[in-house]
Amino acid sequence: MNKIVATLIAGLFATSMFAEAATPAAATTPAAATPAAAAADAKQAKEVAKANEKVEKAAADAKADVATAKADAAKTKANAEKKASKKKAKAKAEKAQEHAEHQAAAGQ
C-alpha cells in the first residue's frame, strides 16, 4: 500500500515538473539562445528524465508486488481447497462405513 501511495505521489510530482518544464520552455524559446539558458534547459530535462525513471521503476515494483500477492493468494486458496476436499472425502468414507456397519447389524 505504501509503495502504491509513493508511486502516485511520485507520478503527480513528475507530472507537475513536466508541466512546468513544458510551459516556460515554449514561452522563452528566444532566451534559450544563450549558453546558460541552454544548459539550464538541459539540466531540467535531465531531472525530468530521472523523475520519470523513478516513477517507472516504482510502478514496476508495484506491479511485481501485486503479482506476488496474487500468487500467494492463489497458493493459499489451493491449499484451502485441498484441505476441504480431504475433509469431505474423509467424512464421506466415515458415513459409508457407518452405513455399512448399520446394514450389517440390521441384517443379523
Domain boundaries, the chain: 2-76
Cβ contacts of 39-45, under 8 Å, gap ≥ 24: 45/21
Determine the pLDDT at residue 1: 79
Cα 66 vs. chain centroid, distance in angstroms?
A: 3
Which pTM value belongs to this model? 0.41
pLDDT tens by residue, 38-92: 888 888 999 999 999 999 998 888 888 888 889 999 999 999 999 999 999 999 9
| Three-state DSSP state, 12 | helix
Checking if the pLDDT of 29 tops 60, the result is no
Q: pLDDT category, 18, cuts 50, 70, 90?
A: low
